[in-house]
Structure 1
């Protein structure tokens, strides 16, 4: 306790922000796995399961645009706490009697959860920019990597938690337990977070939600296709394929995907060392191009192996692990670059715009994951993934080299 009390105010706020983000992410990952497995078990088709998440992703696009503006005007503490509260409400909506748990109702609950998730994420990522000195880019990269990596490790734990809770307590019991736990976190956050964190000195106009920075526009486009490349085969196609083709039960599917996400988060945390920060350098556009190019090889190899029936299960699982590690480095690079490129005043505007593109990629990937898998199978999902990664690499050519922390050039 004495050691905690001796920490600087910035470190304490970083710990509060990170703790909030961790708690939210754990429930978000668990809820996603609960919905996928529960409704697939009820006989929903892959496309129908994908459509349950479509509002979650669409409202994420809208929220990141508007949320960045709200964060700059109201403060990031308020947007983070609003996100926590909305997730509690979304979980409560799923506690209605089973007869009322219709597709439109679940889609509405997922829409609210999507708004909550992106308010929380935008607030957490933007806060770090304000808690690290502008001349400490290496430290900024490390803090972003730690936050992002630990978040994804907990999201993986949430996948496992979702599958386990569904098996032990059933759908309603699992949702109720998560809602109560998140309520306690929300009350603690109301007390602990600074009230002026991230509030812009000059109140931005609503028309400023769209970025005018060339670097941020290019990075946002690359991010959209990067996350589309993951979700086009990961969100619906992969868990359903593992259950239907390999005969895995809820525990096994949830457990494997949990290990994947946890490993993915662990690699994200190591990204600064893997990309050269330990040698006194920070990444730029060339790093983003190089790592995207390497990532694109993995879905191609997996698709070829599945097409020719060459050790399908072993290749898919091994390829998935390789894809996860390489994707983690790409994601961590992007997460650092957006925080580095964003302006000091009203940082949430730039970060919100970037995560809007992230959410758009998830929308595209989620819909295609259900539709392509249902109509053509997992191999086509993998080829589309490879195509999206190629687009990510091409767009990354336009990213700045040795860019300064703030970018104000205009397209």
Structure 2
């Protein structure tokens, strides 16, 4: 097995290492989120208080993406990725203190470090793919598929992380689960320090700090659309849904964790095959650097029109779920089935966006544009997370779903202005 990996081209080995880092990090990130939500719900925290635990996680994600893209362009994406892995280990270690220390400010601080770590890791992984893929029509088709595979596999593993977090909480308790994850991630971090290339993604011309804000109209429009897209998901997903399932339907930790895990796994699986759903064909060649002209023939590369179409399809789904819940039409079936449909369509939207930002990004210092875009992504998650606790506590899950539908309508209106050409 090791001999076969060594025989692969260097670009493929780097892609596998980046993907492995991203996978390992995502497992701990998903598990930690589920651990915190369920553990502090058991301790009697209100939905708004639980949402506040994630305030710094999302807030520091905004800052990290903005500054992290600049750091990646100056220092290299290997360093920003390894810094992210190291910070996640520290964040996990902070939760191993005695129970009396696990106050809201302390957990918020740990979540702040975890938010910085997550977005450094994600920005580094997404940016690095562009540096490993050839240019031209074939390269664009190949880029779409590799971004879809990376994003989809990551989200599938985040779903596994949700299940893992709920299972470990039941089997090992809060501290045992956190300790196991910290040890696992330390091994991955040491391997990454030894094997990841030192010049990955480093810009030829060192960007100034003033260049952290994107000057690209396409990137700015897509970033605005991304903000509302992810706010529309997290307003019901982060706090409202798991608390609603436990409090209203009486689901236990295993059931809540398993449902959310299956939802995210399915979401990731659809993301991975989004190029097929949107009409693309898998590019030929057996390595990242291959350039088979035949591969480009018939391959559909998405554009702004594709993004507008798919978000328009998504916008009505939360409203339909809310109507079914308000009318009392088989609440569990309506909610579970409706959210399964939402997850599938949302996955295509997310995959299209993830490709478009990497395609729109400037080749030299790609992490600057990608970092700015994921700053908007983090801002959307922050808004959605805060609203998830507050709106649910004040008006319930149906209100969260109505606002989700409104946010998706705004996303569609913004998407009208996205470029219609493929790049």
TM class by shorter chain equals: over 0.9
Gaps of 5+ in 1: 405-411
1:407 matched to which residue of 2? Answer: none
Alignment of 1:58-97 (within 5 A): 58-97=59-98
Alignment of 1:153-232 (within 5 A): 153-232=156-235
Cα distance in 1, alignment partners of residues 421 and 277 from structure 2? 18
1:56-82 residue CA offsets vs partner (Å, 9 max, x unmatched):
000000000000000000000000000
Q: List, as ranges, runs of 4+ consecutive aligned residues in structure 1 with deviation greater than 4 Å.
A: none
Cα distance in 1, alignment partners of residues 207 and 299 from structure 2? 36
1:22-63 residue CA offsets vs partner (Å, 9 max, x unmatched):
000000000000000000000000000000001000000000
Cα distance in 1, alignment partners of residues 183 and 7 from structure 2? 31
1:44 matched to which residue of 2? Answer: 45
Cα distance in 2, alignment partners of residues 185 and 50 from structure 1? 30
2:315 matched to which residue of 1? Answer: 296
Superposition deviation, residue 281 in structure 1: 1.3
1:373-400 residue CA offsets vs partner (Å, 9 max, x unmatched):
0000000000000000001100000000
1:372 matched to which residue of 2? Answer: 391
1:237-267 residue CA offsets vs partner (Å, 9 max, x unmatched):
0000000000000000001100000000000
- Match of 1:277, SS state, is coil
Cα distance in 2, alignment partners of residues 171 and 6 from structure 1? 42
Q: TM-score, normalised by structure 1?
A: 0.98
1:186-208 residue CA offsets vs partner (Å, 9 max, x unmatched):
00000010000010000000000
Which residue among 240, 246, 250 is the counterpart of 2:253? 250
Q: Does 1:326 align with 2:354?
A: no
1:56-111 residue CA offsets vs partner (Å, 9 max, x unmatched):
00000000000000000000000000000000000000000000110000000000
Superposition deviation, residue 403 in structure 1: 3.5
Contact residue 270 and residue 348 of structure 2 kept, 8 A:
yes
- Match of 2:273, SS state, is helix
Alignment of 1:276-355 (within 5 A): 276-278=279-281, 279-355=298-374
Contact residue 301 and residue 422 of structure 2 kept, 8 A:
no
Superposition deviation, residue 3 in structure 1: 2.5
Q: Does 1:57 align with 2:76?
A: no
Cα distance in 2, alignment partners of residues 94 and 215 from structure 1? 41
Alignment of 1:264-275 (within 5 A): 264-275=267-278
Superposition deviation, residue 402 in structure 1: 1.5
2:153 matched to which residue of 1? Answer: 150
Q: TM-score, normalised by structure 2?
A: 0.95
Contact residue 302 and residue 422 of structure 2 kept, 8 A:
no
2:101 matched to which residue of 1? Answer: 100
2:265 matched to which residue of 1? Answer: 262
1:281-314 residue CA offsets vs partner (Å, 9 max, x unmatched):
1000000000000001210110100111111110
1:347-391 residue CA offsets vs partner (Å, 9 max, x unmatched):
000000000000000000000000000000000000000000001
Superposition deviation, residue 134 in structure 1: 1.6
Contact residue 315 and residue 408 of structure 2 kept, 8 A:
yes
Gaps of 5+ in 2: 282-297
2:291 matched to which residue of 1? Answer: none
**Matched positions, count:** 404
Cα distance in 1, alignment partners of residues 300 and 40 from structure 2? 47
Contact residue 82 and residue 193 of structure 2 kept, 8 A:
yes
**Greater shift after overlay, 274-283 or 25-34?**
274-283
